[in-house]
Structure 1
């Protein structure tokens, strides 16, 4: 019998409303665990990479263009920054900038010579995902994931030391080119945010193998789809009773989560259509729900996601 696992945002993004009675009862009787917090750690609970590293750029490049093998890749994603009294704060990146193919056609030619002189090829098979192709043996510093930088001062996350010096200089020169580009003035006049910075992150080479036990994976996220493709999960709608991983990290409404996902899945458990349901939150909290737990009548319902309760071992 198949199982389902839901990838969910951190509980603080959903908490605040009481849980419906069937959901509160099921979570109160569930097996609970605690894992490492953060987006990479959450995904690594469900995928094994060989060798064990996390090359986001190479994985998404393979999804976007199919040519990631043999080189080292680095994301150079477009971003919007705004100066403040302490430095420059990242306000948006990637898809939030609503970039089109015309935007990349206008902006990339100004940046390509800068990176070409450094020995790197810059291109953008997707308007919101820009890439640097580096020599296979290239050594790159540990860049902060862009999700960790959003809302913060860029300079707090820049790589330090001698190895980081070159990249700090490239970023500064790219910012000057983008700030002065007439296309950005046109975007602003149209009410769109300017693309006035890049962010380097996700460096590495394509893994030799990606493993997962799921045979159905549903997600709007490029990285998760890239991991699924690398693991050989070709169809998100594979027929039959198969273990499924469902990405709901974009949800922010608890009522919608309960009505559209949790309650129907709990009903499937009652009908013996599912063997188990696992909720995996980005903050590391995990709940495993199985049909046999209905006999744990002594365990009180979990009225809110952060409510303390006695835990059973996961």
Structure 2
């Protein structure tokens, strides 16, 4: 039986790798001879191509809460991750969010004065993971749109806060939380020890756990907690392994953080092409962050006349 599985690699933007290539390189050859498609760019679009989520959307907080604590059913969840901001002459810039190296004991100390603030609003706050804090909201809660931390880091935090009547409530809660954290003695201790103080929260990723998540992916290899949470919901095995020989047909390999074209080609592409020629899988799909999509089949190596690579 001829396998028809597609093995997929998620890669950084094509432009990050293209400048490192020379004619004759494996990736250069694939880019010239493979079938090409321009698709929607960005991680949410990539997720939608590999996971069928109903209702549509990507409720990050509910998915990661289920992974962290297993209790996400029947509530709406909002991430309230610890962060560090630094004011300058004209703005308040977000410099860190999520992983600030907090211990569980530090989390509990910081949460203690925050619990009355959010509890009085009916939004209990908790931290089953030091880098991922959560607000538990009623199912019917209406939330403004909060951008993910990656869109806020390095920028003026105030420019990303929601507007309108609904947004006003969350701006107030954020301001009050910042005052509480600014005055917390633990932050003075962290500063004295050369660690970043936790002086803000960032709300994002709100929503309810999807009714179902389905995927044809046979195995996920990724260090991204959202992807792992999504895969767990879909029943897709998540494996921490960088061995090419054990990668099953139909796997999704997350290499978005790999910007070294030489390493990509030697450690991943060349061994995968050898396996493909042996008939282990049918199609190798390279999904780049800027919307370039390449689909390579073993027979494409005979397309000698194709030398042009995407811009």
Check if 1:11 corresponds to 2:18.
no
List aligned pairs for 1:222-237, cutoff 5 A: 222-236=225-239
Residues matched between the structures, number: 303
Q: CA deviation at 1:28?
A: 0.8
List aligned pairs for 1:14-163, cutoff 5 A: 14-19=17-22, 21-95=25-99, 97-163=100-166
* TM-score when normalising by structure 1: 0.91
Q: Distance in 2 between matches of 1:174 and 1:241?
A: 47
Counterpart residue number, 2:268: 261
Answer whether contact 1:60 1:222 (CA < 8 A) is retained: yes
Check if 1:190 corresponds to 2:193.
yes
Q: Distance in 2 between matches of 1:85 and 1:38?
A: 33
Q: Distance in 2 between matches of 1:241 and 1:234?
A: 11
Q: Distance in 1 between matches of 2:240 and 2:200?
A: 38
| Structure 2 unaligned regions, length at least 5 | none
Answer whether contact 1:25 1:301 (CA < 8 A) is retained: no
Deviations 1:168-188 (A, max 9, x none): 001111111111111111111
Answer whether contact 1:26 1:301 (CA < 8 A) is retained: no
Q: Distance in 2 between matches of 1:77 and 1:15?
A: 35
Check if 1:298 corresponds to 2:301.
no
Deviations 1:252-272 (A, max 9, x none): 322222222122212222222
* TM-score when normalising by structure 2: 0.92
Q: CA deviation at 1:287?
A: 1.0
Q: CA deviation at 1:11?
A: 3.0
Q: CA RMSD in A?
A: 1.9
Q: CA deviation at 1:234?
A: 3.6
| Structure 1 unaligned regions, length at least 5 | 309-314
Deviations 1:10-47 (A, max 9, x none): 23444531256222112210111122222222222211
Q: CA deviation at 1:240?
A: 9.1
Q: 1:38 to 1:86 in 2, by over 3 A?
A: farther
